[in-house]
A = this chain, B = another copy of it.
Amino acid sequence: MPFGHQKVESRRLLLREISQHGPVPRIDLAEHTGISRATVTSVTADLLRGGLIEEVPRESRSDESARGRPRVDLKIAGGAHLIAGLKVSNASISLVLLDFDGVDVMDHECVIPMGRLAPDALAGHIRSGLADLADKAGRRLSDISAVGVGLAGVVDAEHGLVYWSPSLNQRNVPFGDVLREALGVSVYVDNDANLVAMAELTFGLGKSHSDFIVITIESGVGMGMVLGGQLYRGTRGCGAEFGHTKVHLDGALCRCGQRGCLEAYVADYALVREASSVGGMSLTTPTNQAVATVLRAAKNGDPTARTVVDRASKMFAMGLANLVNIFDPELVILAGEQMQFDHLYADTVIEEMRKSIVEIDKPAPEVVVHKWDNLMWARGAAAYALEFVQDTAVEALEDA
């Protein structure tokens, strides 16, 4: 390994460490990373000179108060870069602006037409949303170093290629390139559930875990996997596909055209289809109204509605149990924003899941419910872009 490469690697490693644990004393950096104290001193000097980190006075601890000169810790220089993250939903885009230290600077929500859009049209909405976001923060679009974008669907994140998405009216869209062209900044596109996993890893419940699964519940079911502290995407960039795992041989017809997918039992349209087949509901009612009706009826004890919701919950528990059997993760996070799918977060579902996993004389993995809003999805997208900005910044550092 040429020396220059080693130096960039040390810079990258120390910047990540400071980002995760700062403010942090230099001595701790050496201990945590295994990099020698001398190298920590020279590398952090480079990072300081480049404006990527800054020194802050240490909060005095009682055991230090008596000593000599004031001590300093190192933290990320928040002002070094601006990073935007956004999530495209069915009829809106949620955006957030973070500083280089991952701190919220501004957020914004904009309305877009419902349904599938042409790539250029969606790029236009994203551009105008970002411009409004920057404007609200008193900045310009060109001040933003990178943008992270989360979309539902199957995405090859490495190449910014969207195989398909409910937000786009075409398959195989090089949406990263389309956006880069439209925005004039670096763009990183990923599946939205992956970015929720990224947010949990960076800001959330996954911070202290290296192996966990995040299940997102909206109108569909998404999944993100963190294995060994890294987001796992699969070889073709389309792993972690949970909603279309099959829970019944030749079962219910799914929107994807196949049969027996988990989504064909638990998604909003599946609930409505079930309920409508026994009468008392019109197929012309908008899905969100119809699903609200079914769920309310179930809560009020209507036996038909109950059996519809119960089966969805059981299928969901079975799918979760399969994931636990395969991954044996430390933690399963059920994340979502729509309180209406409460029945999938229920204790009975978690109990049912526990009964369906391989029994050993050790506790089952922890399952936690984490309800959050679209802004957290956007934060995950920003966290994803932030990693690239960190890497680019250390590569661009001049030598002393």
Interface residues on A, range: 35 or more
Q: Is the CB of B322 within 8 A of A154?
A: no
Q: 8 Å CB contacts to B: which residues of A216-251?
A: 223, 227-228, 230, 232-242, 244-249
Cα–Cα, bound, A226→B260 (Å): 28
- A329 — which chain B residues lie within 8 A by C-beta? 234-235
Interface segment, A68-76, A105-113, A357-365?
A357-365
Interface segment, A134-142, A198-206, A313-321, A341-349?
A313-321
User: Does any Cβ of B come within 8 Å of A328's Cβ?
Assistant: yes
Q: Is the CB of A318 within 8 A of B239?
A: no
Q: Is the CB of B314 within 8 A of A249?
A: yes
Q: 8 Å CB contacts to B: which residues of A135-164?
A: 154, 163-164
- A260 — which chain B residues lie within 8 A by C-beta? 318
Contact status of A361 and B163, CB under 8 A, knowing A246-B318, A246-B322: yes
Closest to A36 in B: B1
- A328 — which chain B residues lie within 8 A by C-beta? 233-241
Q: Is the CB of A244 within 8 A of B361?
A: no
- A240 — which chain B residues lie within 8 A by C-beta? 326, 328
Contact status of A245 and B325, CB under 8 A, knowing A234-B211, A258-B356: yes
Contact status of A249 and B358, CB under 8 A, knowing A227-B227, A232-B227, A244-B325: no
User: Does any Cβ of B come within 8 Å of A330's Cβ?
Assistant: yes
Q: Is the CB of A171 within 8 A of B361?
A: yes
User: Does any Cβ of B come within 8 Å of A35's Cβ?
Assistant: yes
Q: Is the CB of A241 within 8 A of B358?
A: yes
What are the nearest 10 A-B pairs in CB distance?
Answer: A234-B328, A1-B34, A239-B328, A163-B360, A241-B325, A245-B322, A235-B330, A246-B318, A241-B358, A245-B325
Q: List 24 A-B contacts (CB under 8 A).
A: A1-B34, A163-B361, A171-B361, A211-B234, A227-B232, A228-B228, A228-B230, A233-B328, A234-B327, A235-B329, A236-B360, A236-B362, A241-B358, A244-B325, A245-B322, A245-B325, A246-B322, A246-B356, A247-B247, A248-B248, A249-B314, A256-B358, A322-B322, A323-B326
Supplied contacts A236-B328, A238-B358, A256-B358, 10 more A-B pairs, CB within 8 Å: A154-B360, A163-B362, A227-B227, A236-B360, A236-B365, A237-B328, A239-B325, A242-B325, A246-B321, A249-B314
